Structure 1
Amino acid sequence: MKRRRRKKLSRDLLGAIVAGDRSRVGALLRRGADAARGPLGNGATPLYTAAVQGETEIARLLLAAGAPPDAESRGVGSEGTPLCAAACWGHTATVHELLAFGADPGLREDGGTGWTPLEWAERGAHAETAALLVAAGGG
């Protein structure tokens, strides 16, 4: 696939995720959009973006299309893992989906030096999310 087309698909995918357009996300993935990489190949991953937004169905589509559940985003203001992002905002259903696809509940973000998903959930006073993470072995 040509580089220009890949970039356009990635930009369109990011826009569809932010808009919460599940059917468009699915169509873009079928057309070849990369579920694992953002528009510039760095910065926020599509899965991180879906996790921050609490878009559980979109996260499921991305995970099924091969998005790695523990890939860390590096963009300014969007650093961290998808599980930490979902836990931070108390998106319990999205946390559940990420765990179902193998996200590590004990993985610290920032290359292993940052907070765990459980620490994010507790600091945000998201008791239901924290309980789910504890049950999954997060600590």
Structure 2
Amino acid sequence: MTRRRRKKLSRRLVVAALVGDLAGVRAALRAGAPAETADTAGSTPLYLASVSGSADIVRVLLAAGAFPDTESGIGSEGTPLCGAAAWGHTEAVRALLDSGADPNLREDHGTGLAPLDWASRGPYPETVDLLVAAGAHPSR
């Protein structure tokens, strides 16, 4: 695959994940888009799907080889698990944990908040309970 084609497919995958287009995500992956990719701002498809609560897309990306703990963004986003936990997206959190996401991995290269910190800031008791059951503990 040429570099140009790979870049185009990566862009299609990121956009499909951003807008919650499951069929588009599957099509981009089938066409050869790498599951572990990012846009020019460093946003990964897995992070974008996680923060929007698109658990089906999260599962598809993980099955295609996206790493559950890859940090997204250039200083302004975080890990997929932190993103999902911050908004109380319990099914996305479950999918990430089931795929081996570290429930205690703090964002910002280990200096920021942990998933449990984020979930505890909102009214998300189900997400908090799921993280605690997975062994999460507050970072501070």
1:49-102 deviations in Å (ceiling 9; x for gaps): 11011110001010001000000013354x210000000011000000000000
What are the ranges of 5 or more consecutive residues in structure 2 without an aligned counterpart?
Answer: none
TM-score by length of 2: 0.93
- Deviation, structure 1 residue 24: 1.5
Aligned to 1:130: 128
- Deviation, structure 1 residue 10: 1.1
- Deviation, structure 1 residue 7: 1.2
- Deviation, structure 1 residue 131: 0.7
What are the ranges of 5 or more consecutive residues in structure 1 without an aligned counterpart?
Answer: none
Aligned to 1:108: 106
Task: Indicate if the aligned counterparts of 2:75 and 2:108 stay in contact, CA closer than 8 A.
Answer: no
Name the amino acid aligned to 2:21.
Answer: D
RMSD (CA atoms): 1.2
CA distance in 2, matches of 1:44, 1:76: 10
CA distance in 2, matches of 1:85, 1:39: 17
Aligned to 1:66: 65
Identical amino acids, percent of aligned pairs: 59
Aligned residues: 137
CA distance in 1, matches of 2:29, 2:86: 27
CA distance in 2, matches of 1:90, 1:27: 28
Tell me the secondary structure at the aligned position of residue 51 of structure 1: helix
1:85-139 deviations in Å (ceiling 9; x for gaps): 0000110000000000000001111111111100000012211101100000000
- In the TM superposition, 1:1-139 aligns within 5 A as 1-40=1-40, 43-75=42-74, 77=76, 79-139=77-137
- Deviation, structure 1 residue 27: 1.3
Give the structure with the larger strand fraction.
Answer: 1
CA distance in 1, matches of 2:34, 2:122: 31
CA distance in 1, matches of 2:103, 2:75: 23
